[in-house]
């Protein structure tokens, strides 16, 4: 399990883990979140040109450690961008390597739901 702030290092890690877990994993499930051109404020859609994202690497590591205990999964890799992000930039990307798709989907949903609490 690792949290990356560099997208190229993150992509390299994913490729290494796909090779490492061939034969052990049944799948990987991923989600990638992007900065939208709007926010929802008080239930209303408001135009946006970006967002500021804090470094929550420690919190993400805690979330992933919890997911590894809760779900029957093999490994998790997370990319989390920081600073001022423009519309279209990646905020976060999560890859969950699982023995079975159901547990991988559940773990991925759990992780992104917990990360969203910080945004």
CATH number of domain containing 107: 3.90.1170.40
Domain count, the chain: 1
Query: SS3 string of the chain?
Result: CEEECCHHHHHHHHHHHHHHHCCCCCEEEEEEEECCCEEEECCEEEECCEEEECCCHHHHHHHHHHHHHHCCEEEEEEEECCEEEECCCEEEEEEEEECCHHHHHHHHHHHHHHHHCCC
Query: pLDDT in tens for each of the 119 residues of the chain?
Result: 899 999 999 999 999 999 999 999 999 999 999 999 998 888 888 899 899 999 999 999 999 999 999 999 999 999 999 999 999 999 999 999 999 999 999 999 999 999 999 98
Q: What is the residue range of 109's domain?
A: 2-116
pLDDT at 89: 97
**Which two three-digit tokens encode residue 53?**
């994202």
């Amino acid at each position: 399990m690792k949290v990356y702030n560099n997208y190229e290092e993150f992509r390299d890690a994913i490729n290494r883990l796909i090779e490492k877990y061939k034969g052990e994993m049944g799948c990987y499930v991923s989600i990638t979140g992007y900065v939208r051109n709007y926010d929802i404020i008080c239930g209303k859609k408001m135009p946006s040109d970006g967002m500021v994202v804090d470094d929550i690497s420690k919190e993400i590591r805690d979330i992933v450690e919890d997911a590894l205990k809760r779900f029957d999964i093999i490994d998790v890799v997370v990319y989390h961008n920081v600073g001022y992000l423009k519309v279209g930039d990646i905020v976060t990307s999560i890859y969950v390597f699982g023995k079975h798709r159901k547990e991988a989907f559940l773990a991925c949903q759990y992780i992104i739901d917990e990360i969203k609490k910080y945004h």
